[in-house]
Amino acid sequence: MADDRLIVALDVSTMDAMKSIVSSLGDSVSFYKVGMELFYAEGDQTVRYLQEHGKHVFLDLKLHDIPNTVAHGVSSLTRLGANLITIHGQGGPIMMKAAAEAARESAEKLGIERPKLLAITVLTSFDDESWTSIGGQLPIADQVIRLAKLAKESGIDGVVCSALEAKMIRDACGPDFLIVTPGIRPSFAATNDQKRIATPSSALQDGASRLVIGRPITQAEHPQEAVRLIIEEMESVSK
């Protein structure tokens, strides 16, 4: 039943809460996101637990610092064997190139598969008003495209972006560029604090590679049923 285009966000702060979600979803989900809240609270045991249960891991820590620091951070995280790792695109091309090189070198040294790196473009909690308030000069969509192109040129495998920008990025960056989209809300779910959102089918149709969905599944009365409904919608779009 699992569709590896679906990534379930483990936005919890304890191992027990994480284990409860993974156990309740069973074989219906094969890919999970571990973000700051969980990783900072429980560390790398979160990644090991998921791997021991045959799951893929999206490690969403959004590294953003000087190039040398980010490179060392990526090297350390590569050892964990996560499938996807995020850095901030706004760290610039030198930082992104350093991260890509660090992931490649560390994986080769360890004899493991290299993690795919994703650049964060503009967080989906931003709308036009809040974007302007922090000094955004370009419209959000233009900034996202600019960062996506820069990420590709810097050797990064893909981006995290709103589904609303997925089609433009797919057109600009080609068929092999990874596009991971949070802010996905199926028809039965509330929008919560996300501003730039889309449904699962529309996001995939517009070129998204993988979808990150949290609360509509993890806070559902019947989580496996929520997953089933989402996968049904996803499967209306061919892989």
The residues of the chain scoring below 50 in pLDDT are 194
- The answer to whether 191 and 197 have CB atoms below 8 angstroms apart is yes
The distance from CA 105 to its chain's CA centroid, rounded to whole angstroms, is: 23
Give the number of other CB atoms < 10 A from CB of residue 1.
11
What pLDDT sits at residue 195? 52
Closest CA to 214 of 16, 34, 1, 23: 34
The structure tokens 């503009």 sit at: 122
What pLDDT sits at residue 158? 98
Helix (H), strand (E) counts: the chain: 11, 8
Q: Which residues are catalytic?
A: 62
For 150, 175, 182, the CA distances from 172, given in Å and listed in that order, are 11, 9, 20
What pLDDT sits at residue 185? 83
What pLDDT sits at residue 91? 95
- The SS3 call for residue 97 is helix
The model scores a pTM over 0.75: yes
Closest CA to 61 of 76, 204, 97, 163: 76
